[in-house]
Structures are given as structure tokens and as C-alpha cells.
């Protein structure tokens, strides 16, 4: 695997590969890699000639200084994992390389970012838009691979790709989970053993809510049930639980049988275990 730290050197190398007719699959990450990330690498390998993975802990998408400070950084181990997985190129720029000066322009994703992560992490999706658009311009991939684990991020990037006519295809890959159901996440490493033991209750809470919706219970009742379920688990503090239209991410009302459009519904949760904030979602 080749490792690049500089934008211009990476671009020169990719230009040569593209001139040889090779297609490029791109997996942007913030490192501290786990099997969820590797599943994206595997998809990219299956669908492209060359796989590029970026590792960059993007300061502009953190609205919480503590979260940025404790975000795990494990470049050496990540590099080995990527090499073993058959990734061709790792792009690991410094913050100075990506932002010689902090960007002044702003992304506004409208209603897509007034809910959930956008509402609780002000400025987060502006930072995501800036870094992902920059990375797309640098790598110019044919396909870019993202995880459904970050559902709202997928919606925001899809909006950006469409509205700004990025010439690439987005591929959304399923959430990879630990055996007990906990969605894999770089932040799981910051959990104490006690917190790790109760973390799977988030996924269980989502599945309980799904079962209640399938019994045709009202959204409001299902939300109350979930809040009650998690209130009884010491160490988990619910931040939000939303039942949303999958495409618009706007709140879904009523019962499933009243869902005349029959579109997909997303159940999305964010919760704190101590200082560690975890998110997850499932789709009906």
C-alpha cells in the first residue's frame, strides 16, 4: 500500500492511474479503523480497480473540543489493517495540508440539517460538507463508499453530490455490528468495560421500537416507551430518538398503517455513555 501525506503528490499519482483507464473507489474515514470501515474497503475493492482510503480527523466537523481531543488516533495500526485488507492507497494529510487557513465558506443543507445530528451538533454538517467536498476534488473518485451507520451524513452528502454535480456514484453500505448488536464505532474504544456492557441496549431499544411500530403503535407512544426503557438503564443518557422519513429525515407522525406513501422509515438514536456519544439507526 502506498501512503501519501501531500495533496499534490497524491493527485499526480492518481492522474497516472486514471490515464491508464483505472477506476478509483474512495473510502473517507477519520481512522481508528474497525471492521465497519473494512467492510467499506471490501465493497470498494469489489467495485473499483484502485482503492483509496483517507484518514483525517477533521477539526471543522467537531463542535465539541473534548470530543476532538479524545478522538482515538491510531495511524500505525490503521495502516496495517488497510494493507492487510488490500487497500491500494492511504491518504493521511495533516491539518495544515488540508487547511492552510480555515475555510470561510459555509454549507447549508436546509431542512436536512435542522434535525438530529445537525440540531445537536451545530456546524457539524458544514464541516462534513467542507472536508468531503475537498476530498472528492482531491481524489476525484468514480465511486465513494459511506456507511449507513451515519445515515444523516449519507443524506447530506447525497444532497451535495446532486446539487453540485459531483461526477461520482455514492455507495451506501450496511452497518456492521459486534456480536451483541452494538454498532461498530471508533468511539467504542473510549467506553469503560461497564459502559461497553450496557452499550448494546441502544440497539435493543431501536429493535423494541421497531417491534412496537410494526404492531401499529403511534410514534408518540413508541418514543415514550423507548425513553422509559433507557431511563431504567443506569449509565445511558438519551440525547434524541427520532422516527423519521428515510428520504427527507423529517419527523414521521402517526402509525405505520397510516403511512400511505409506504416509504422507508428511519429510527435514529443518539445517547451518551459518560462522555462518549454514540449514534445508531435502523430502517423499516
Active site members: 37
**Beta bridge partners of residue 190, listed in sequence order:** none
Residues 226 to 245 in contact with ligand AMP, rule: CB under 6 A: none
Please, is 146 exposed, middle or buried when counting C-beta atoms within 10 Å of its C-beta (0-12, 13-18, 19+)?
A: buried
Residue 130 sits at the vertex; the CA angle it makes with 4 and 37, to the nearest 5 degrees, is 55
153 backbone φψ class: left, alpha, beta (φ>0; ψ -120 to 50): alpha
Using rule CB under 6 A, residue 152 touches ligand AMP: no
Binding mask 6-45 for ligand AMP (x = CB under 6 A): -----------------------xx-----xx-xx-----
3-state SS class at 270? strand
Q: Which three cell numbers stand for residue 145?
A: 463508499
CB atoms within 10 A of CB 79: 19
Q: Is 149 labeled as ligand-binding? A: yes
CB 224 → ligand AMP: shortest distance, Å?
28
Q: What angle do CA 50, 54, 60 make, to 5 degrees?
A: 150
Q: Does position 183 bind ligand AMP by CB under 6 A?
A: yes
Residue 84: how many other CB atoms lie within 10 Å: 11
Residue 129 known to bind ligand: no
Residue 186 touches ligand AMP, criterion: CB under 6 A: yes
Instruction: Examine residue 184 and tell whether it contacts ligand AMP (CB under 6 A).
Output: yes
Question: Is residue 254 part of an annotated ligand binding site?
Answer: no
Binding ligand AMP (rule: CB under 6 A), the pick from 42, 176, 212, 244 is 176
Interaction between residue 107 and ligand AMP (CB under 6 A): no
| Interaction between residue 206 and ligand AMP (CB under 6 A) | no
State the cell numbers at 8.
Answer: 499534490
Which spans of this chain sit near ligand AMP (rule: CB under 6 A)? 29-30, 36-37, 39-40, 146-147, 149-150, 173, 175-176, 183-186
As annotated, the binding site for beta-alanine includes 61
As annotated, the binding site for ATP includes 30-37, 147-150, 184-187
Amino acid at each position: 500500500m502506498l501512503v501519501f501525506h501531500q495533496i499534490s503528490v497524491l493527485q499526480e499519482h492518481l492522474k497516472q492511474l486514471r490515464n491508464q483507464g483505472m477506476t478509483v473507489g474512495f473510502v473517507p474515514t477519520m481512522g481508528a479503523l474497525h471492521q465497519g470501515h473494512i467492510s467499506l474497503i471490501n465493497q470498494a475493492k469489489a467495485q473499483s480497480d484502485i482503492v483509496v482510503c483517507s484518514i483525517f480527523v477533521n477539526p471543522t466537523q467537531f463542535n465539541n473540543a473534548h470530543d476532538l481531543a479524545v478522538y482515538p488516533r491510531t495511524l500505525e495500526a490503521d495502516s496495517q489493517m488497510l494493507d492487510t485488507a488490500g487497500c491500494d492507497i492511504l491518504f493521511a494529510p495533516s491539518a495544515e495540508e488540508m487547511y492552510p487557513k480555515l475555510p470561510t465558506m459555509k454549507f447549508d443543507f436546509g431542512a436536512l440539517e435542522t434535525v438530529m445530528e445537525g440540531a445537536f451538533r451545530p456546524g457539524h454538517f458544514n464541516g462534513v460538507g467542507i472536508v468531503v467536498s475537498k476530498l472528492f476534488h482531491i481524489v476525484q473518485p468514480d465511486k465513494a463508499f459511506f456507511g449507513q451507520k451515519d445515515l444523516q451524513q449519507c443524506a447530506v452528502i447525497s444532497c451535495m453530490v446532486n446539487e453540485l454535480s459531483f461526477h461520482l456514484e455514492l455507495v451506501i453500505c450496511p452497518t456492521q455490528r459486534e456480536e451483541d448488536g452494538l454498532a461498530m464505532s471508533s468511539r467504542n474504544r473510549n467506553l469503560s468495560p461497564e459502559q461497553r456492557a450496557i452499550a448494546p441496549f441502544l440497539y435493543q431499544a431501536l429493535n423494541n421500537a421497531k417491534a412496537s411500530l410494526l404492531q401499529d403503535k403511534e410514534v408518540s407512544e413508541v418514543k415514550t416507551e423507548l425513553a422509559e426503557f433507557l431511563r431504567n438503564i443506569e449509565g445511558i443518557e438519551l440525547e434524541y430518538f427520532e422516527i423519521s422519513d428515510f428520504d427527507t429525515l423529517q419527523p414521521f407522525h402517526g402509525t405505520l398503517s397510516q403511512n400511505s406513501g409506504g416509504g422507508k422509515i428511519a429510527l435514529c438514536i443518539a445517547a451518551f455513555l459518560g462522555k462518549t456519544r454514540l449514534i445508531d439507526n435502523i430502517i423499516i
